[in-house]
Structure 1
Amino acid sequence: MDLSRVQKEIREISQDKASGISVRVLGEDLTRLEGTLKGPKDTVYEGGIFVVDIEIKGVYPFEPPKMRFKSKIWHPNVSSQNGAICLDILKDQWSPALTIKTALLSLQALLCSPEPNDPQDAVVAKQYLNDMPLFEQTARHWTRTYASETASQKNLKQLLEMGFSEEDASTALDNAGGDLNTALAALLG
Structure 2
Amino acid sequence: MDSVSRRLLKELKEYSKVDPSHPEITYIGPADDDNLMEWTAHLKGLSGTPYEGGTFELFIKVPSHYPMQPPTISFVTTVCHPNVHIKTGEICLDILKTDWSPAWTLKSAVLAISLLLSNPEPNSPLNCDAANLLKCDDTLGYESLVRMYTSLHAIKE
What is the TM-score with the length of structure 1 in the denominator?
0.75
Counterpart among 7, 10, 17 of residue 8 in structure 1: 10
Please tell me the residue identity of whatever aligns with 2:155.
Answer: S
What are the within-5 Å matches in structure 2 for residues 4-153 of structure 1?
4-18=6-20, 19=22, 20-21=24-25, 22-27=27-32, 28-130=34-136, 131-149=138-156
Compute the TM-score of the two structures, normalised by the length of structure 2. Answer: 0.90
How many residue pairs were aligned? 150
CA RMSD of aligned residues (A): 1.3
Query: Whose RCO is larger (CA < 8 A, sep 6+)?
Result: 2
Q: Distance in 2 between matches of 1:11 and 1:41?
A: 28
DSSP 3-state at the match of 2:36:
coil
In structure 2, the residue matched to 1:175 is: none
More strand by share: 2
Q: Give the gaps of 5 or more residues in structure 1.
A: 151-189
Amino acid at match of 2:85: S
| Equivalent position SS for 2:83 | coil
Cα distance between partner residues in 2 of 1:79 and 1:113: 16
- Letter aligned with residue 44 of structure 2: K
Deviations along 1:55-77, whole A, 9 cap, x unmatched?
01110000000000000111001
Bigger share in helix: 1
> Once the two structures are superposed, what CA deviation does each residue of 1:122-159 show, in whole Å capped at 9, x if it has no partner?
22211222222111111011111111326xxxxxxxxx
- Report sequence identity in percent: 37
Aligned to 1:187: none
Question: Which structure has the larger Rg over C-alpha atoms?
Answer: 1
Q: Give the Å deviation of 1:108.
A: 0.5
Task: Give 5+ residue unaligned stretches, structure 2.
Answer: none
